[in-house]
Amino acid sequence: MKNKQQDRSTSRSLYRRRFLGTLGGTAVAVGASGLLGAGAAFGQRAGGGRFFVREDRFGRMFPGLPPFASPSPRLNAALMDIGKPGGLLDAKDNLAAGPIALIVDPALSADNPNNPAHSAGTTFVGQFLDHDVTFDLGSRLGVPARPEDSFNTRSPSFDLDSVYGGGPRHSSELYGHERSPIKFKVESGGQFEDLPRRANGTAIIADPRNDENLMIAGLQAAFYLFHNRAVDLVKKRHPRWDDDDIYREAKHLTTWHYQWMIVNEFLPLFIGQRLVEDILYRGRRYYRPPVGFIPVEFQGAAYRFGHTMVRPSYRANITGDKGQPFFGMVFDPAGEGQADPVDLRGGARAPRRFIGWETFSTSARSRVRAVAGRWERTCGRTSSSTRAYRRRSSTCRCVRSPPASRRRRCPSATCCAR
Ligand code: HEM
């Protein structure tokens, strides 16, 4: 069993590297176009001396701090040791048990428990957010590089450049739905919407990382649909506006909704409501650069904590696999080269390859509950799928105004305080 587990981990990390190595030119071109005219300024080091800060480079949040350890073969060996299969960082999930058992039997992931306050989708929203603000295409694994010399190919703000690319003019391949030059192309994988794809399955999107797995591809498609509907809405309200104005307004609406969701829904889950409010009312204490840039402390360390949130397997949807649920490991070496991979990787199209959001989001789950409730009221019976759904639903449900009794029982104050 151990060997099999090791094999899987090794192949998985190889797959990750290969994925990075194969990132297409689209993202680079689009990313660069988003950074034309990037801001720049001098920053002041704590112990004196100045350094250059640019929007299109990484930088340091604490430039005066000495490194924790200097590069050396001994340091490399220590890092390899904590990262090896079975090492300190290995969650030791029993991967051989397969995708279903890994979801229903918490004992198989004893070191890697579920987060009672987060829905499964929170993780992938976190990944999506990262892909909007950081993309290091330049630095090489194991080779020390100065952050100030390393290009960040994403703009360092939540502006959805990973979705919009360079806009309809510079990234016209992304647009053209229903013959509108300002709507995103959306295709279908059979049952629901899918990203536009080339014949080999590669998605035609501004950031190829947003097709790395089914969940993030589903989010990318959701933003396409949101923007396209916003275009319809703006057009209806302002029938005389030209396409440029309609596009700009639809993009504003989409981006503002996204930013609202980050501040009011996402951040409280990640850092706690109290800290969010503290920052909103008192301002930032440490990150106050002359121009916005992404610190390596965030990109290379703090925000990578998101990797620890990824479960070994998920249920992509409840009835998409010929009427059955589609369960899969996030990555399984067996899926390599398969037309419809057994796992949840992106880059392929098939009828079962879509996300049923009720597994991933509490608000989608409440919609299913509402429908299930209507069903019970009208025919007085509980369907087997409703019963199964109830058995599987999580212990903590985020509700706007939970009754005091439920608030006391809920394991997460953050979740229920919202
Ligand atoms: C299935 C889920 C995920 C997979 C397969 C994945 C995979 C990867 C890979 C292959 C890289 C580049 C290699 C590296 O530099 O280590 C990377 C980078 C990164 N990931 Fe993830 N990741 C996932 C989820 C997340 C989540 C949930 C977060 C945060 C909430 C996150 C944050 C980051 C950050 C900040 C980087 C650096 C990006 C850059 O600047 O280039 N990832 N991830």
Indicate the number of domains in the chain: 1
Give the range among 27-36, 91-100, 210-219, 276-285 with minimum mean pLDDT: 27-36
Does residue 28 have a pLDDT over 80? no
Ligand 1 centre from 187 Cα, in Å? 26
- pLDDT > 90 fraction of the chain, expressed in percent and rounded: 63
Ligand 1 centre from 315 Cα, in Å? 21
Q: Which atom of ligand 1 is nearest to the CA of 19?
A: 10
Mutate to test the pocket of ligand 1, among 79, 214, 307 (most ligand atoms within 8 A of CB): 307
Does residue 415 have a pLDDT over 90? no
Whether 370 is in a domain gets the answer no
Q: How confident is the model over 174-190, as pLDDT tens digits?
A: 999 989 999 999 999 88
Residue with the smallest CA separation from ligand 1 atom 29 is 306
Helical segments of 241-361, H only: 243-261, 267-271, 273-282, 296
Q: Which atom of ligand 1 is nearest to the CA of 137?
A: 41
Question: How far, CA to CA in Å, does 45 sit from each of 49, 52, 66, 272, 327?
Answer: 5, 10, 12, 30, 51
How many C-beta neighbours within 10 Å does residue 305 have?
A: 10
Does residue 252 have a pLDDT over 90? yes
Contact 347, 18 (CB under 8 A): no
Whether 375 is in a domain gets the answer no
Whether 219 is in a domain gets the answer yes
Q: Which residue has the higher pLDDT, 382 or 184?
A: 184
- pLDDT > 70 fraction of the chain, expressed in percent and rounded: 74
Most confident of 17-21, 368-372, 375-379: 368-372
Whether 363 is in a domain gets the answer no
Ligand 1 pocket (Cβ < 6 Å) reads 16, 19-20, 123, 126-127, 130, 134-136, 212-213, 299, 303-304, 306-307, 309-310, 330
- What residues make up the domain containing 78? 2-309
Contacts of range 132-139, beta carbons closer than 8 Å, 24 or more positions apart: 132/158, 132/159, 132/160, 132/161, 132/162, 132/163, 133/157, 133/158, 133/294, 134/58, 134/294, 134/298, 134/299, 134/303, 135/27, 135/31, 135/207, 135/209, 136/58, 136/299, 137/23, 137/27, 137/28, 137/31
Q: Which residue has the higher pLDDT, 259 or 387?
A: 259
| Residue 49 banded pLDDT, cuts 50, 70, 90 | low
Does residue 403 have a pLDDT over 50? no
Mutate to test the pocket of ligand 1, among 13, 17, 127, 308 (most ligand atoms within 8 A of CB): 127
Rg of the chain in Å (alpha carbons): 23
Q: How confident is the model over 54-100, as pLDDT tens digits?
A: 899 999 999 888 888 888 999 999 999 999 999 999 999 999 999 99
Does residue 41 have a pLDDT over 80? no
Give φ, ψ of 177 to 5 degrees. Answer: -65, 140
Q: How confident is the model over 221-237, as pLDDT tens digits?
A: 999 999 999 999 999 99
Residue reference for tokens 């919009």: 164
pLDDT, residue 304, reads: 95
Mean pLDDT to the nearest integer, 22-49: 49
Rounded Cα distance, 197 and 187, in Å: 8
Q: Which residue has the higher pLDDT, 387 or 87?
A: 87
Q: Which two tokens stand for residue 163?
A: 């979705």
pLDDT, residue 385, reads: 43
Whether 344 is in a domain gets the answer no
pLDDT, residue 399, reads: 34
Whether 230 is in a domain gets the answer yes
Ligand 1 centre from 47 Cα, in Å? 33
pLDDT, residue 264, reads: 96
Average pLDDT of the chain to the nearest whole number: 82
Does residue 393 have a pLDDT over 50? no
Q: How confident is the model over 319-338, as pLDDT tens digits?
A: 999 999 999 999 999 999 99
Whether 83 is in a domain gets the answer yes
Q: Which atom of ligand 1 is nearest to the CA of 58?
A: 40
Ligand 1 centre from 23 Cα, in Å? 14
Whether 291 is in a domain gets the answer yes
Does residue 411 have a pLDDT over 60? no
Q: Per DSSP, what are the bridge partners of residue 51?
A: 43
